[in-house]
């Protein structure tokens, strides 16, 4: 009987042996089976069939089954991962980005598997009350119409062991979700203005800013419930040309996008973050914003940078360089009796040759620039650090008068000083351009 074998679908080893046994009948023997025929039926390599033939074609489990390698792509990074897990950080993307900075060459899946196997290190969550469903209704605005802003706070462990409180300014576009963050040593009004101007330069100026009832924005509400703006903030609004809308007190859902952004910054960007100084931290924050704004957002079904460039920037105004804006970027400071100005909790020196009582201070990158009162002269340049020590400048103090001797008797010796004669050049004798002498 000639049987047609479909080579496109190979048989299993047991099926192939049963087929050969049917063909050969009583002459069939596993010790004498044709390996070439068996390879044609099953597709198994000849070498593997030889090994199986020694065991009478009985497949036994691999001796290394269930064993793990002594080293893998995560070897050497276990302490970093365990520290993250013990601090209740379970975001695999945060782990992956931090490990890449340390030289990790593996993939994201290995990190996820490690987190899943070591979840016992994560502290148990504390639940005070059972969660309730959200009955709020999401709403959206037109492109470039509204931004949301807020402050977030974080403690910084300085190199000397001191705990310093820092403030994070956050702003997000209500339509597309493009975000901007910047860190300051405190949340004073002047830093609010600087952060808003930097955000407007990055995202454009919207028609309306949505914020809560912070003291640097509103002082109180009148009898009709209308806000009484802080005087300096009201002038700032008119100068930059935008409007402000206040949220309902004790109702954070009104500006939930920026509230969620602050939580995301604490759980993603700040998790395990190290930095050199405030400028280095803001450089890392800007890189983080650029990466996040370039990623696909599943909740909004868009990429923030693309939608913001195509729609929002057509409505949002561009922040142009104007002289009146430099007043907010360069806050005024009064010089102390010992020649220092205080800025962001630190003291910076001013040259003694400057006679006025106030200066303007401007932080640009890794430098702190000190300008005169009329902003026409740069007086000093300092390096920006988190150090609490005073920063001195050149010629901050006048040099002390040196002792000088004077004659005790009348001076009778007199000498005379004459005018220095003009020296004739040696090559003038070869100058024939003056004509013939008569």
* CA separation for the pair 314, 166 (Å, rounded): 35
Residue 316 structure tokens? 């949002």
* CA separation for the pair 186, 164 (Å, rounded): 10
Is the alpha carbon torsion for 202, 207, 209, 215 positive or negative?
A: positive
pTM assigned to the model: 0.65
Helices H / strands E in the chain, number of each: 13, 13
Query: Residue-wise over 406-415: b if at least 16 C-beta within 10 A, else e?
Result: eeeeeeeeee
Residue 438 structure tokens? 């008569």
pLDDT at position 4 is 44
pLDDT at position 276 is 83
- Is residue 155 within 8 Å of 163, Cβ to Cβ? yes
- Is residue 292 within 8 Å of 158, Cβ to Cβ? no
Whose tokens are 């009985």? That residue is 58
303 three-state secondary structure:
coil
Reported as half-sphere exposure (CB side, CA atoms, 13 A), residue 253 has a value of: 6
The percent of the chain in helix, strand and coil, each rounded to the nearest 5, is 35, 20, 50
Residue 62 structure tokens? 């691999």
Per-residue pLDDT 10s for the chain (438 aa) are: 444 444 556 788 888 888 888 888 878 887 778 888 888 888 888 888 888 888 777 777 766 676 777 778 888 888 888 888 888 888 888 888 888 888 888 888 988 988 888 888 888 776 666 566 655 566 678 898 999 999 999 998 887 788 888 899 999 999 999 999 999 988 999 999 999 999 999 999 999 999 988 999 999 888 887 889 999 999 999 999 999 999 877 776 778 899 999 999 998 999 888 888 888 899 999 999 999 999 998 888 899 999 999 999 999 999 988 888 888 888 889 999 888 998 877 889 999 888 889 999 988 878 889 999 888 888 998 887 766 788 888 888 776 666 767 777 787 777 776 776 666 554 455 454 555 554
pLDDT at position 225 is 79
DSSP 427: G
DSSP 205: B
The full DSSP string for 76-102 is: T-HHHHHHHHHTT---HHHHHHHHHHT
Name the CA dihedral angle for 232, 234, 235, 238, rounded to a multiple of 10 degrees. Answer: 160
| Residue 214 burial class via C-beta count within 10 angstroms: exposed 0-12, middle 13-18, buried 19 and up | middle
């Amino acid at each position: 009987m000639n049987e047609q074998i479909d080579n496109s679908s190979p048989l299993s080893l047991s099926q192939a042996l049963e087929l050969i046994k049917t063909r050969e009948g009583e002459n069939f023997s596993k010790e004498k089976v044709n390996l070439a025929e068996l390879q044609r039926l099953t597709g198994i390599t000849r070498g593997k069939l030889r090994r199986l033939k020694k065991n009478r074609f009985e497949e036994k489990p691999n001796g290394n089954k269930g064993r793990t390698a002594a080293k893998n792509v995560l070897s050497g990074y276990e302490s970093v991962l365990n520290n993250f897990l013990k601090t209740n950080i379970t975001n695999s993307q945060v782990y992956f980005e931090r490990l890449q900075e340390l030289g990790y060459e593996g993939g994201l899946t290995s990190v996820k598997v490690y987190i899943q196997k070591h979840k016992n290190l994560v502290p148990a969550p504390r639940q005070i009350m059972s969660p309730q469903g959200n009955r709020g209704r999401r709403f959206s605005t037109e492109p470039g119409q509204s931004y949301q802003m807020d402050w977030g706070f974080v403690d910084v462990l300085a190199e000397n062991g001191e705990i310093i409180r820092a403030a994070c300014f956050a702003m997000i576009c209500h339509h597309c979700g493009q975000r901007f963050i910047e860190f300051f040593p405190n949340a004073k009004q002047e830093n609010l203005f600087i952060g808003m101007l930097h955000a407007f330069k990055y995202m454009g100026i919207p028609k309306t800013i949505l914020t809560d009832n912070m003291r640097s924005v509103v002082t109180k509400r009148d009898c009709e419930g209308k806000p009484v703006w802080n005087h300096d903030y009201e002038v700032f609004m008119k100068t930059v040309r935008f409007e402000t809308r206040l949220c309902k007190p004790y109702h954070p859902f009104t500006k939930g996008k920026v509230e969620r952004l602050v939580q995301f910054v604490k759980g993603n960007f700040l998790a395990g973050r190290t930095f050199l100084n405030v400028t280095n931290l803001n450089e890392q924050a800007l890189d983080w914003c650029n990466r996040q704004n370039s990623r696909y957002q599943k909740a909004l079904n868009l990429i923030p940078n693309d939608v913001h460039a195509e729609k929002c920037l057509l409505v949002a105004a561009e922040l142009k360089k104007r002289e009146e804006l430099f007043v907010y970027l360069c806050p005024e400071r009064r010089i102390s009796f010992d020649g220092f100005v205080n800025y962001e909790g630190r003291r910076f020196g001013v040259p003694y040759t400057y006679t006025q009582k106030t200066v303007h201070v401007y932080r640009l990158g890794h430098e702190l620039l000190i300008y005169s009162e009329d902003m026409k002269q740069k007086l000093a340049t300092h390096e920006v650090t988190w150090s609490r020590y005073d920063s001195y400048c050149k010629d901050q103090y006048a040099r002390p008068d040196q002792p000088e001797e004077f004659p005790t008797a009348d001076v009778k010796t007199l000498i005379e000083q004459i005018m220095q004669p003009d020296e004739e050049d040696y090559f003038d004798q070869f100058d024939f351009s003056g004509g013939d002498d008569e």
